[in-house]
Amino acid sequence: MRKQAQGGFTLIELIVVIVILGILAATALPKFATLGGDARAASLRAALGAINTTASMVHGQALINPTAGSFTNEGVVIGVTNGYPSGTENTALGAGLTDNDYTVTASVAGSGAAGNTPAIPVNGFVVVPRAISGTPTALTCFVSYAASTAANVAPVTNITVSNCGN
């Protein structure tokens, strides 16, 4: 009877494979490291779309029933200013922007940037991803909403995603 040779990898073959995997990981890591900022920017673009959609829906409801002072969307009562959603936190909550994902800061009187909070428009609010809320990155990664200032004047929404971090 003949003994059969055992099959397997030699130590040098295993080391070569590990070195190749290390080189691949080192070249791929920088690409994946920047995806956090891209994800936050994409999330804010979605939040902007949700706010604009909510503003359009409430405006449509206000056109149908112009005497109503508020409407309910997503179980949240949204106040109306000049036929559009008011600039309160409820507008953001009615758009589905929850506290789990975003920090919404509203101001009735308006204010400048304070610390690591972006400037809040008069009668409006800012939305910042929860992961960067309170950090310097929040000043360059946010959505702002300013309520309508007159009849037939749409609210102003802006997005700033110049640096959403890594």
The reply to whether 125 falls in a domain is yes
**pTM to 2 decimal places:** 0.78
Residue 56 neighbours by CB distance under 10 Å = 13
Residue 67 belongs to what domain range? 34-160
Residue 146's pLDDT is 94
Tens-digit pLDDT profile for the chain (166 aa)? 566 666 778 889 899 999 999 988 888 777 776 678 888 999 999 999 999 999 999 999 999 999 888 999 889 999 999 999 999 999 999 999 988 999 999 885 545 556 788 889 989 999 999 989 889 999 999 999 999 999 889 999 999 998 887 6
Cα–Cα dist 51/44, whole Å: 10
The reply to whether 7 falls in a domain is no
The reply to whether 23 falls in a domain is no
φ and ψ of 101, to 5 deg: -110, -30
The reply to whether 48 falls in a domain is yes
State the amino acid at position 107 in one-letter form.
S
Which of these, 145, 95, 97, lies nearest to 122 by C-alpha position? 145
Domain count for the chain:
1
The reply to whether 21 falls in a domain is no
